[in-house]
Amino acid sequence: MTPDQSHGSRSGAAREVSQSQLGEFVRSKENQAGIKTCYERALKRDSRLRTGRLDITVSVGATGVVQNVQVHGPSDFLIIQDCIKSAIRHWHFPANMEEYATSFPFIMQGG
């Protein structure tokens, strides 16, 4: 997963969070474990969920606290969206000089 970041920075301030920092953060074992748990729970409830792409957009405060999470994906995956939002709301993103938003995909694949 490679997150795309979009900053509202007007001043070009130092200490902006880099795309590679966000990518490492999103791919961390701890963060991926929460998403995997959501998917595995959903699979137990609906074994038809096999493959789907969820596009995640997160608004992050300057301190790294999650302010808002949006999940977009196939209607079959509505069952998993609340769990993913909840998991991501508990993440503490890297701090930045200003509030920022980042977007990244999750590709869900079941067996």
> Could you tell me if 94 and 17 are in contact, meaning their C-beta atoms sit under 8 angstroms apart?
yes
Q: Tell me the pTM.
A: 0.82
The answer to the question of residue 8 being in a domain is no
Q: What is the pLDDT of residues 25-63, one digit of tens each?
A: 999 999 999 999 999 999 999 888 888 999 999 999 999
What confidence score (pLDDT) does residue 109 get? 86
Query: CA-based diameter of the chain, in Å?
Result: 49
The answer to the question of residue 48 being in a domain is yes
The answer to the question of residue 89 being in a domain is yes
Domain enclosing residue 22, as ranges: 17-109
The answer to the question of residue 66 being in a domain is yes
Q: Which CATH number characterizes residue 41's domain?
A: 3.30.2420.10
Please give the tally of structural domains in the chain: 1
The answer to the question of residue 72 being in a domain is yes
